[in-house]
A = this chain, B = another copy of it.
Amino acid sequence: MTIGVLGGTGPEGRGLAMRFAIAGHDVIVGSRDATRAAETVTALVAACGERVRGRLGGGLNREAAERADVVIVAVPYAGMVATLEALAPLLAGKICVCTVAPIEVVGGQVRLRAVDGSAAEEAARTVPAARWVAALHTVPASALLRCERPLDTDALVASDDAAARVAIVELLECMPGLRGVDVGRLANARHLEAATALLIEVNRIHGGHASLRVLGI
């Protein structure tokens, strides 16, 4: 499977590209800037070596969207809608995974921006022809980037497209130590985005790389 990562040069995008490539998928690291995409690929290959060679390519977000079977949206919230509007025809019919949390920092404090429901639902309204899934909000970039270590956390996966939800739970479980957990419809993405804000606060207070595990299921 070919996975395209929009915003693939940011920490979350880099971590996901690395983990997917290690698991044997072909990955296109997308960026607004093709040079930065190429530099990111070089750095990831240097960090991960033979395991990922030949599986990581870089290019514009447009190329990542076009060539991918599954698209990961890992751009900052501020640019999300504009990025998706520009790529809409290329995303139609594809499973798109929104990892975006509409975070802003006001007076040194992290908070969620007032959005209409969730960033994921905004993404779905922007490109209704894609098959939208929200996931990975509570899997920290810092953990993804420590590629020698298995993860030890859950990826909470929301979508109104049951088949896409199942496909993404399965896809994410290619990463050792990551359990995919179906959390229902896309409207629940607002709770996942809230969890990102909560974990940022937890990290600020406790100095860790916090993630969440659902117990009791």
* Contact of A125 with B by CB under 8 A: no
* Contact of A105 with B by CB under 8 A: no
- Copies of this protein, total: 2
Chain A at the B interface: SS class: mixed
The reply to whether A205 and B184 contact each other, CB–CB distance below 8 Å, is yes
Q: Given A143-B216, A152-B215, is A182 in contact with B195 using a C-beta cutoff of 8 Å?
A: no
Total interface residues in chain A, CB < 8 Å: 40
Contact with B along A171-213 (1 / 0, CB 8 A): 0000000000111110110111011011101111111111111
Q: Across the interface, which residues of B come within 8 angstroms of A209, CB to CB?
A: 216
Within A56-114, the residues touching B (CB, 8 Å) are: 109, 111-112
Q: Which of A185, A198, A207, A210 counts the most B-chain CB atoms under 10 A from its CB?
A: A198
Within A7-63, the residues touching B (CB, 8 Å) are: none
Q: Given A152-B215, A208-B216, A216-B140, is A191 in contact with B188 using a C-beta cutoff of 8 Å?
A: no
The reply to whether A183 and B208 contact each other, CB–CB distance below 8 Å, is no
Chain B residue, CB-CB nearest to A153: B215
The reply to whether A206 and B194 contact each other, CB–CB distance below 8 Å, is no
